[in-house]
Every structure is written in C-alpha cells, then in structure tokens.
C-alpha cells in the first residue's frame, strides 16, 4: 500500500495537482491501471500510459471530502453525546433504585403501632414501633439492601440483635434481628440495591423470625415511616 500511495502521488504531480487534491484512492479511477502505468527509477518518474490516470475536478472533489469529513465528525460527536447521556441515565437509575428488603414480604407490625408483646425469652415488652416488621415464611430468607448505600454498622447490638445499618443520601436504613453469623458486609462497604447483606433471624428483643426494617434521618435517630421510602 505505501508503494501504491507513492505511485498515486507521483501520478497526481504529473497531472499538475497537489496530493491534497486526491486525498482518497477511490476517487482515482482504475487505480490498478494507474499503478501499472507509473514506474520510478533512480528518482525519475515515467508514465507509460497517461490516460490510465484520472483526477477529478479539484474544487468539487475537495468540497465533497470536506462535507463527508464534517458529517462523519458530527455523527461521531452525536454518538458520543448519546453514549454519555445513556451512561448518566443508568447511573442515576442505579442511585435511585429501591427494592423491598425482604422478597415476598408480609407486614406483621406497622410503623407507629403501640405494642404490648411477650418476647421469645418470656419477658414483657411495650413500645411504640419505630419501624416495620416483615416475614415471608422462609426461615433462611435473604435480607437485601433496599437501596445503594454505605455500611456504617454491622454486627451485634447492645440488645443482642445482629444488624446492619446503611447510610444513604440524607437518611439511614436499619435491618434488625438478622441471624447470628449471617452478615455478609462490613463497615465501609458500598452495597447496591438488592444486594444480600444477611439472613432473616430472631436475635435480640424478638418474638420470632422476622425482619425489623427502619428508616432514620440520623443514625438510629429521628425515625420516619419506612413506607415513604419503600417501593409501592
């Protein structure tokens, strides 16, 4: 190919135009014949068949090349913008994605309920419920991060409950009563919505296997109704 380019360039010079006037090989008709018609010996150019070389009108040809280059550049820029927009949309969707923390969940105790219950160890317990309780009939069900976040607490709380707390943009999500030894994340981890963080359990002040899920504005403070954050 370099030799062919040299031959084409030589033919172009002989035709009285510059190399820029013939920027594309496919605009020279019968390139093979043109190459055969030109020989170079000791720097001397010989054209045995001048009629084999055809150069288009210079001004028209340059306009066509420039128009094609401009169109290709515009198409590439538009494709890059579309790809960037799609990537940003996917990022935003991932940031805002929310899922239920327990699949196929049934609500057993709602936010704000005044409860008077007997714990599994026989103790009497009374409180205003600051979260929601879910079961799904599977004693080994996965507990899922309801939204993308950062783990700020993972382990056993003072009441004996295995738990995970995630920090999100402007709030925290709380997962309580997980099975001991089931926690799959550590403080500092970033988790995605739907990622498994542990297994349902009945640790701490519990009446049986279930998930206590809560939302707070501060870490375990200023609780709000979780239904306002969970998917419909």
| Segment (H or E) for 47 | strand 44-47
Distance CA 158, CA 160 (A): 5
Catalytic residue status for 210: yes
How many angstroms separate the Cα of 217 from the Cα of each of 3, 120, 170? 73, 30, 7
Distance CA 98, CA 128 (A): 26
How many angstroms separate the Cα of 34 from the Cα of each of 3, 20, 56, 83, 218? 12, 18, 14, 43, 80
3-state secondary structure of 215: strand
**Which member of 168, 210, 212, 227 is catalytic?**
210
Residue 19 DSSP code: G
Query: What count of other Cβ atoms lies within 10 Å of the Cβ of residue 177?
Result: 27
3-state secondary structure of 69: helix
How many angstroms separate the Cα of 18 from the Cα of each of 13, 22, 31, 35, 55? 6, 7, 17, 17, 11
The set of catalytic residues is 210
């Amino acid at each position: 190919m370099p030799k062919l380019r040299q031959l084409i360039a030589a033919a172009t010079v002989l035709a009285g135009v510059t190399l820029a006037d013939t920027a594309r090989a496919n605009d020279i008709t019968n390139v093979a014949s043109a190459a055969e018609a030109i020989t170079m010996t000791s720097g001397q150019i010989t054209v045995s068949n001048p009629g084999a070389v055809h150069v288009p009108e210079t001004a028209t040809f340059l306009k066509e090349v420039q128009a094609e280059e401009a169109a290709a550049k515009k198409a590439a820029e538009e494709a890059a913008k579309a790809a960037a927009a799609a990537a940003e949309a996917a990022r935003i969707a991932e940031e805002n994605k929310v899922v239920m923390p327990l699949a196929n969940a049934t609500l057993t105790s709602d936010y704000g309920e005044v409860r008077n219950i007997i714990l599994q160890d026989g103790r009497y317990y009374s409180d205003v419920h600051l979260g929601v309780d879910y079961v799904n009939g599977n004693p080994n069900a996965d507990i899922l991060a309801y939204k993308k976040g950062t783990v700020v607490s993972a382990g056993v709380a003072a009441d004996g409950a295995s738990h995970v707390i995630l920090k999100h943009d402007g709030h925290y999500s709380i997962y309580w009563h997980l099975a001991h030894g089931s926690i799959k994340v550590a403080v500092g981890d970033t988790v995605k919505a739907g990622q498994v963080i542990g297994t349902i359990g009945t640790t701490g002040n519990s009446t049986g296997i279930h998930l206590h899920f809560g939302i707070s504005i501060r870490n375990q403070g200023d609780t709000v109704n979780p239904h306002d954050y969970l998917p419909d």
